[in-house]
Chain A
């Protein structure tokens, strides 16, 4: 892992000079800002039973669906399209270092964007002066959920990027995979055919992989190690597959 930090700093820098990063940042902050003001308006009209933070984080899937592909679709696809992967891999850098470096850079940026949304809560606290609106539990739980699930989402983006040399294809593939992951579990739990006795283990597996359930647990303050493990093992698998995909493409190029 000697070259990890070299690649990481290079990738962060490349993301920071790329216009798509700023498009993502503007889109993210304006969307989340609108949502946040909308939520506050609801709260000012009538008291609600949940804290505004948990409602705010409930919409986490919207930015995930566009932010993750835009941050990651370029990382490996572009290297291959330009051929710079050849100069990269003919130095003593391993594929693992390349994939991890790019992954870490995209994750850092993803977290930086989410981190900037903390400003909303700061403004609320500063000007609302209403202590019950700022409940630290759901806020911390929400950010923790974003941080842990982000690991997996970004890894999926990197994996999609390793499959194609075309950025657009990588991006679409990433959206599809994220969509299946975010809503597939929810859809399957309501599927009638899964109710059969013989399929009970499958049903358990689907329940385990329900991201909306994880989200609710996190914002309620229930930090379950099994759920953490789901994201971490998913991340590790997606990254291993990315490394294999990059190497397999070399063997069969």
Chain B
């Protein structure tokens, strides 16, 4: 594991997949270096699962190239399948088997030598905190345990690349925490690609995020980069009372880029919440306070907003829908 070969763990170039006339994945390209945890975000039907299935070699691509650890999926599916641990959507498991039996069967299919398999199963059971249920029948386990059985199965053969389709769907917050720690514990050792709807989830675990919508990548980068790129530089929230008509003029004197994004209703004390945004990265908080005070406006609170990944996601997907609706084509 010390000398990592130079090729990226996952490399996708111009991937297209269409089913019966519908293009599910439309010209996607991305690259994942080794050891990174990458999050795949997108609304339902965006093409996340399809992309993941193509990466594992389960579905053939219509066009484009996909390679895992330098092996092209199309021409060397066997080499690729040996290097991947995959947990499909909804985590299908055979209900009649016991946990340890299932892991043994999967280990044999993944060609782990018989002698090492027992020890390796103990290891993953420990890692996924499944020791208590190792002799239970999978069909009788709770969803959280089942999900962890799926993850244990994916990491069983210690593949360099792990692909998990919505590993935390349907779990309670406590179980999500466990799964998240589990995924974080793989950082550096394995390349992990996970898709999720739960945005804080992705934000906390992933080094990098890919947002896809309608089969295209609409944004990618670290969560911090995405915020800057998609939402602009900064946003402020002011709670103020007084004559608010002068505000646009006032803002122009602080920073020409500063504008009112939204205004809330007036509360019983005469205050209202005003959202401001600007492209300027410098903190304009003090200038805003001073300008408001000089105009005789009373300010109760000022905060610099920290957009969540949710805002980024909504903005990015909305932007891509606008681009599709716009006949002139996508925005730069």
Q: Is the CB of A6 within 8 A of B109?
A: yes
Contact across chains for A84 and B109 when beta carbons are under 8 A apart:
no
Residues in A lying within 8 Å of B, measured CB to CB: 2-3, 6-7, 10, 14, 17-18, 82-84, 86-93, 250-253
Would A14 and B109 count as touching, CB distance under 8 A? Answer: no
Which candidate, B39-47, B85-93, B177-185, B232-240, is the interface stretch facing chain A? B85-93
Residue from A17, A87, A250 within 8 A of B153 (CB atoms): A87
Q: Is the CB of A90 within 8 A of B58?
A: yes
How many residues from B make CB contacts under 8 Å with A? 30
Beyond the given A83-B89, A84-B92, A252-B20, please list 15 additional residue pairs across the A-B interface where CB-CB is below 8 A: A3-B109, A6-B109, A7-B109, A86-B58, A87-B87, A87-B92, A87-B153, A88-B109, A90-B56, A90-B57, A90-B81, A91-B81, A250-B58, A250-B59, A251-B59
Distance in angstroms from A105 CB to nearest chain B CB is 13
How far is B92's CA from A89's CA once the two chains are assembled, in angstroms? 13
The interface residues of chain A lying within 8 Å CB-to-CB of B96 are 14, 17-18
Q: Chain B: which residue is nearest A7 at the CB level?
A: B109
Residues from chain B with a CB closer than 8 A to the CB of A92 are 78, 81-82, 109-111
Q: In chain A, what residue has the closest Cβ to B109?
A: A91
Chain B residues near A93 (CB, 8 Å)?
Answer: 109
Does B209 interact with chain A (Cβ within 8 Å)?
Answer: no
Q: Say yes or no for B5: interface residue by CB 8 A criterion.
A: no
* Docked pose: A87 CA to B81 CA in angstroms: 11
Contact A82 B106 (CB under 8 A): no
Interface SS, B side: loop
Tally of A-B Cβ pairs under 8 angstroms: 62
Measuring CB to CB, which residues of chain B are less than 8 angstroms from any residue of chain A? Answer: 19-20, 53, 56-60, 78, 81-82, 84, 86-90, 92-97, 105-106, 108-111, 153
Inter-subunit contact A90/B84 (CB<8 Å): yes
Contacts of B87 in A (CB 8 A): 87
A87 to B152, CA, bound (A): 13
Instruction: Decide: A82 near B58, CB < 8 A? Known: A6-B108, A90-B86, A92-B111.
Output: no
Instruction: Judge whether A251 and B60 touch: CB under 8 Å.
Output: yes
Checking B82, B88, B111 against A87 with a beta-carbon cut-off of 8 angstroms, the contacting residue is: B88
**16 A–B contacts, CB within 8 A, in A order:** A3-B109, A6-B105, A6-B108, A14-B97, A84-B92, A87-B92, A87-B153, A90-B84, A91-B81, A91-B106, A91-B109, A92-B81, A92-B109, A92-B111, A250-B58, A251-B59
B93 touches A84 (CB 8 A): yes
Question: Which residue among A3, A7, A18, A91 has the maximum number of chain B CB atoms within 10 Å of its CB?
Answer: A91
CA distance A116 to B65 in the complex (A): 55
Provide the residues of chain B in CB contact with A82, threshold 8 Å: 92-95
A161 to B19, CA, bound (A): 24
Contact B88 A91 (CB under 8 A): no
Q: How far is the CB of B62 from chain A (nearest CB, A)?
A: 11
B59 in complex: contacting residue of A6, A83, A253, CB < 8 Å = A253
Partner of B110, one of A83, A89, A91, A250: A91
B94 A14 Cβ-Cβ under 8 A: yes
Closest to B55 in A: A90
**What's the least CB distance linking B106 to chain A, in Å?**
7
Contacts A17-B96, A251-B60; is A86 near B109 (CB within 8 Å)?
A: no
Q: For A7, list chain B residues within 8 Å (CB).
A: 109
